[in-house]
Structure 1
Amino acid sequence: MVKLDESLLKKYAQVMVQYALNNGEGINKGDTVFLVGQECAKDLFMAIAKEIYLAGGNLITHYQPDNVQDKSLTRFLLQNGSDEQIGFFAKPYWQGIVEATDHILFIISEPDIHFLEGLPSSKISMMNSARAPYMKMREKKEQEGKLSWSLCLYGTQSMADEAGLSLEQYWDQIIEACYLREDDPVKKWKTVQKEIEDIKDKLDALGIEKLHIKGDDVDLQVQIGEHRKWLSGGGKNIPSFEIFTSPDWRGTNGSINFNQPLYYSGKRISGVSLTFENGIVVASSATENEDALKEMISQENADKVGEFSLTDKRHSRITNFMATTLYDENMGGAFGNTHIALGNAYKDTYQGDMSAVTDEQWTEMGYNSCPKVHTDIISTSNRTVTARLRNNTEVIIYKDGQFILD
C-alpha cells in the first residue's frame, strides 16, 4: 500500500478546500461541507476535514465502510433485498443534507473495482434510479447558485491493477495531474484555470452552430444549440482540463467509436460504438458487457447526448488509462481526448439566468433531462473538429489533440 507523505496530503487537501470547492474560489468562513469517502481513503479524508476546519468551515461527514465483494453492504442489499429495499430513498434525510450544505466533496476510491460483478444490471439501475430525486434537489440548489461540488481521486491497488499500473505509478499520475509537486499547487491551478478559460471565451465568441468531428473512428455532427456557452471544470473536478458544453441533443447525427473503457454500475464496458439519428441512439454495441450498455441506454432519455467535451493535451499531465472517468475524461497523451456523455445535460451551460428558465423552456432548447444517468464515454484517438459558425463560415477549432484558436 502506498501512503502519501504529510506534505503531499496537505497540499491535496488545500487544493480541494482552497481551490476546488466554491467553483474554483475555495470555501468561505462559515460554509458547510458534506464530505463523502470510504475507509480506504481515511488519511486524505482526515486531511481534507482538518483543512475545512482550518478555513473556518463546518463539516458533515458521510464516512463509509469499504466496498469490497465479501463485505460490501451495497452488494449484500442487491443480492438479498426486496425491490422496495433496493429502491428505498430517505427523502427527508437527503433533503436535509442538501438544505444544510454549501458544498459537497466526494473522494472517489474503489478498494474493489469489481465489487458489483455478477449482479443483474437491472437491479443496479433500480438502486441508482432511487437516487434521482436527490440529484434533482442538488441540481435545483446549484442552479440557484447556492451549492458547489467537487470530486477527487484516492488510488487503490484494485484501481491500479485495472489500469495495468503499479500502485506507485498510479499515484504518480494523481500527484502529477493535481500539480501536488508544485510549491503552491493552489496557485498553479488558478493559473491553469485562467488559461483554460481563455480558450473557453474564444469558443464562446465564435458563435458556433454545429461541430463536425472527423477521424478514423468517428464521423459525427453535433448541434450546439441556442443560448449555449462553453464551460471548464472550474474546480468541479480535480483534475479537470476539459472544455465542454451541453448541446441541443436533437442535432446529433452520425457514428462514433470509443477506444477507452467506461464503468457503469460496477461493470467495465469496452469497445463502445454508437450511431445517432436526429439525436437518438439508433444502434449501439460493445465488445465487453454490452448488456450493461444496453441497460444504461434503455433508461428514459439516456439514449440522447447531454454533454460534448474536448481536452487540450497541453494542460493535462495524465498519460495513462486510469480506470476511472474522472481521470480518463481528462487524459492528455498524444491526442488529448474527445468525450460525450449520454444522459443528463448541464444546465449551467445556458448563457442566461438558469433559475428563470422553466422545464418547458429547457425542453424547447434541447437540454436533455435524465437525472438517472450521465455517463461519459471517451476516445483518445486523433480527430479534427470543424465548427460551422452562425455566419455560415467554417473553421477548424481542434486538431492533433489541441485547440487551434486565434
Structure 2
Amino acid sequence: MMNYIETVNKYAQTVVEVGLNIQKGQTLVINSDIDAIDFVRAVTKAAYARGAHNVIQKLTDGPSTQMKFEHAPVEVFEEIKQYKIDEINDFVAQKVAHLRIYSQTPELLKDADANKIAALAKANGEMNKDFARAVGRYDFSWCIVAFPNDKWGELVFPELKGEDAKLKLLDAMIKAVRVDKEDPVQAWKEHNDSLNARAHKLNELNFDKLHYYSERTDVEIGMTEGHRWLGASTTNADGVEIQVNMPTEEVFTSPDFRRVNGVIGNTRPLAYQGAIVDDFKLTFKDGVVTDFEAGRGYDVLKNLLDNDEGARRLGEIALVPDDSPISNSGILYYNTLYDENASCHVALGRAFPNAIENGKDLSKDELFEKGLNHSLVHVDFMMGSNDLNIDGIQKDGTVVPVFRDGNWVI
C-alpha cells in the first residue's frame, strides 16, 4: 500500500534535485492545476529547503476553464496581453526556474469549440515566443512533470473510480520517474549516462538521413549539417545540470525540415489543448505537410497545422525503443510527456537551437537557413511501434540499421 504523503514528498524532492537542480537564491515559478495542490505544496517546501529565494505558484482550475470555453466569446481567446508578455520576459531576464505540472484530464476540453482551442494556442504561442526560444537554448532551468487527478485516472483505468483511479495512476507515474527506487538521484544518474552514450554513438555515425518504415509510416528525414543528438540531461546557460522531462527514455535531435518526404502515421493518441486526436496520417513533400487525415479530432489537427507556416514542418525527431519501461507497462496515458517515452516520435513546429553545433550562438534566421524550423508551436506525436524499422544512411550511401522491429540494433 502506498504511503501517499511520503510518496508525494519523495517525488517533489527528486524533481527539485534532479529535474530543476534548484540553486541557492533562485526563484521558481510553478504552473499547475489546483488538482495537484498536494504536489505543488511539496515542491514548494522542497525548493525552499534547498535554498530557493521565492516560489511563485500559478494555478488554474479545470472546471473553471471548461466554463470559460463554454461561455466566453472567441475574441477572449484571441487576446494578446502586453502585461503577460512583460512578466514572461522578466522571468527570462532573471533566469527564473520553471516547473510545468500536467495535472488535468487530457479530455478536459473534448467538447470545447475547436476554433477557441486554436485561438488560444495561437495567442499563447505569440505571447510566449521569446520564452520558448529561451527554453530551447536552456537559458534557465526548466522541467516538465505530471501528477494525476481522478478524471485522468479514470480515463487510463476505466475499471476504477475516483481516488482509487488517481492513486493507481500515481503509482505508475512514480515508477516511470524512478521515484520508486531507494536512491532516485543515483538511478537518474545511471539512466542519463546510458542515454547520453547512445546519443554519442549516433553523433559518431553522422547520418545524412534516416529512413523510417512500418505498416503506418514510410518516410525519409534528412539531417542538418552539424546536427547533434542529445540524451536525457543537459546543462543550462550557467552550467547547471537539469533534467527537463521526467520521465524520459529518448535521444533526440532536430532534422532538416526541408528534407522530409513520405507518410507518417501515429501509433498512440495525441492529447493536444485538452482534446484528443487519433488515427491520423501526415503526408510530407519537401518538408511540408501537404495532406492529412484523422479518424478522431480532425478539426483540432487542422487548426494545429494552420497555426503558422512552421506548424506543417518537423522540429524534432526522437528515438525510443519499444522495449522500454513505459511501453512495457502497457499503460496508455493519453499524455504526450508519458506516451512519447513509450514510442519513437516526431514533433511538428519549433526546432531546438542546441540540436546543431554552436546553435545557441546563431540567430533565428541563421538557424532557419541551416534547416532548423521555427514556429509558435512544438507538438510531439508518437509514431513508433513493434514493427518500426529505421535505417541510417550516410553521405556515401552506406546503410546502417538503427532500429529493427521497434528496438535498437546499434
Q: Same fold (TM over 0.5)?
A: yes
| In the alignment, structure 1 residue 138 sits paired with structure 2 residue 137 | no
| In the alignment, structure 1 residue 279 sits paired with structure 2 residue 274 | no
Q: Tell me the secondary structure at the aligned position of residue 271 of structure 1.
A: strand
**Of 392, 395, 405, the match for 1:400:** 405
| In the alignment, structure 1 residue 121 sits paired with structure 2 residue 114 | yes
TM-score by length of 2: 0.89
| Aligned residue in 2 for 1:348 | 354
| In the alignment, structure 1 residue 298 sits paired with structure 2 residue 302 | no
Shift of 1:323: 0.9
Shift of 1:295: 1.2
**Of 262, 269, 278, the match for 1:261:** 269
- Asked if structure 1 preserves the Cα contact closer than 8 Å seen for 2:74 and 2:119, the reply is no
**Which is worse superposed, 321-330 or 223-232?**
223-232
Shift of 1:3: 8.1
2-structure distance, mates of 1:290, 1:341: 18
Shift of 1:145: 4.7
- Asked if structure 1 preserves the Cα contact closer than 8 Å seen for 2:287 and 2:314, the reply is yes
1:201-212 equivalent positions in 2, closer than 5 A: 201-212=200-211
| Aligned residue in 2 for 1:104 | 98
Q: Which runs of 5+ in 1 are unaligned?
A: 332-336
- Alignment deviations for residues 219-261 of structure 1 (CA, whole Å, 9 cap, x no partner): 1101011121011232111001111111001111111211211
Shift of 1:403: 1.9
1:143-162 equivalent positions in 2, closer than 5 A: 145-162=138-155
Query: Measured at CA, do residues 119 and 154 of structure 1 come closer, stay the same or move farther in structure 2, by a change above 3 Å?
Result: same
- Asked if structure 2 preserves the Cα contact closer than 8 Å seen for 1:37 and 1:107, the reply is yes
1-structure distance, mates of 2:323, 2:197: 14
- Asked if structure 2 preserves the Cα contact closer than 8 Å seen for 1:78 and 1:123, the reply is no
1-structure distance, mates of 2:219, 2:60: 43
2-structure distance, mates of 1:353, 1:164: 43
Shift of 1:263: 1.5
2-structure distance, mates of 1:81, 1:97: 30
**Which is worse superposed, 235-244 or 30-39?**
30-39
1-structure distance, mates of 2:136, 2:351: 13
| In the alignment, structure 1 residue 38 sits paired with structure 2 residue 30 | no
| Aligned residue in 2 for 1:48 | 43
Shift of 1:175: 1.5
Q: Tell me the secondary structure at the aligned position of residue 250 of structure 1.
A: coil
Shift of 1:77: 5.8
Query: Measured at CA, do residues 140 and 214 of structure 1 come closer, stay the same or move farther in structure 2, by a change above 3 Å?
Result: closer
- Alignment deviations for residues 133-172 of structure 1 (CA, whole Å, 9 cap, x no partner): 4432224434665312111111122112222454243222
Query: Measured at CA, do residues 272 and 164 of structure 1 come closer, stay the same or move farther in structure 2, by a change above 3 Å?
Result: farther
Q: Tell me the secondary structure at the aligned position of residue 34 of structure 1.
A: strand
- Asked if structure 2 preserves the Cα contact closer than 8 Å seen for 1:87 and 1:129, the reply is no
Q: Which amino acid aligns with 1:308?
A: I
1-structure distance, mates of 2:181, 2:409: 28
Query: Measured at CA, do residues 370 and 3 of structure 1 come closer, stay the same or move farther in structure 2, by a change above 3 Å?
Result: farther
**Of 367, 370, 379, the match for 2:383:** 379
Query: Measured at CA, do residues 109 and 343 of structure 1 come closer, stay the same or move farther in structure 2, by a change above 3 Å?
Result: same
- Asked if structure 2 preserves the Cα contact closer than 8 Å seen for 1:182 and 1:188, the reply is yes
| Aligned residue in 1 for 2:240 | none
| In the alignment, structure 1 residue 195 sits paired with structure 2 residue 194 | yes
2-structure distance, mates of 1:280, 1:85: 28
Q: Tell me the secondary structure at the aligned position of residue 299 of structure 2.
A: helix
1:303-342 equivalent positions in 2, closer than 5 A: 303-318=312-327, 319=329, 320-331=331-342, 337-342=343-348
Query: Measured at CA, do residues 363 and 42 of structure 1 come closer, stay the same or move farther in structure 2, by a change above 3 Å?
Result: same
Percentage identity across paired residues of the two chains: 25
2-structure distance, mates of 1:257, 1:85: 31
Shift of 1:61: 2.0
Q: Which amino acid aligns with 2:111?
A: G
2-structure distance, mates of 1:67, 1:121: 17
**Which is worse superposed, 138-147 or 251-260?**
138-147
- Asked if structure 2 preserves the Cα contact closer than 8 Å seen for 1:211 and 1:223, the reply is yes
Shift of 1:39: 1.4
- Asked if structure 2 preserves the Cα contact closer than 8 Å seen for 1:250 and 1:279, the reply is yes
| Count of aligned residue pairs for this structure pair | 389
Runs of 4+, deviation exceeding 6 Å: none
| In the alignment, structure 1 residue 214 sits paired with structure 2 residue 213 | yes
Q: Tell me the secondary structure at the aligned position of residue 173 of structure 1.
A: helix
Shift of 1:92: 2.0
| Aligned residue in 2 for 1:79 | 71
Query: Measured at CA, do residues 145 and 217 of structure 1 come closer, stay the same or move farther in structure 2, by a change above 3 Å?
Result: closer
Q: Tell me the secondary structure at the aligned position of residue 225 of structure 2.
A: coil
Shift of 1:49: 0.7
Root-mean-square deviation (CA), in Å?
A: 2.1
Query: Measured at CA, do residues 317 and 34 of structure 1 come closer, stay the same or move farther in structure 2, by a change above 3 Å?
Result: same
Shift of 1:116: 2.2
**Which is worse superposed, 284-293 or 114-123?**
114-123
2-structure distance, mates of 1:330, 1:140: 23
- Asked if structure 1 preserves the Cα contact closer than 8 Å seen for 2:69 and 2:112, the reply is no
Query: Measured at CA, do residues 143 and 296 of structure 1 come closer, stay the same or move farther in structure 2, by a change above 3 Å?
Result: closer
| In the alignment, structure 1 residue 63 sits paired with structure 2 residue 74 | no
Query: Measured at CA, do residues 3 and 101 of structure 1 come closer, stay the same or move farther in structure 2, by a change above 3 Å?
Result: farther
Query: Measured at CA, do residues 144 and 293 of structure 1 come closer, stay the same or move farther in structure 2, by a change above 3 Å?
Result: closer
- Alignment deviations for residues 32-82 of structure 1 (CA, whole Å, 9 cap, x no partner): 2111122111111111111111111123323324212xx33x641663246
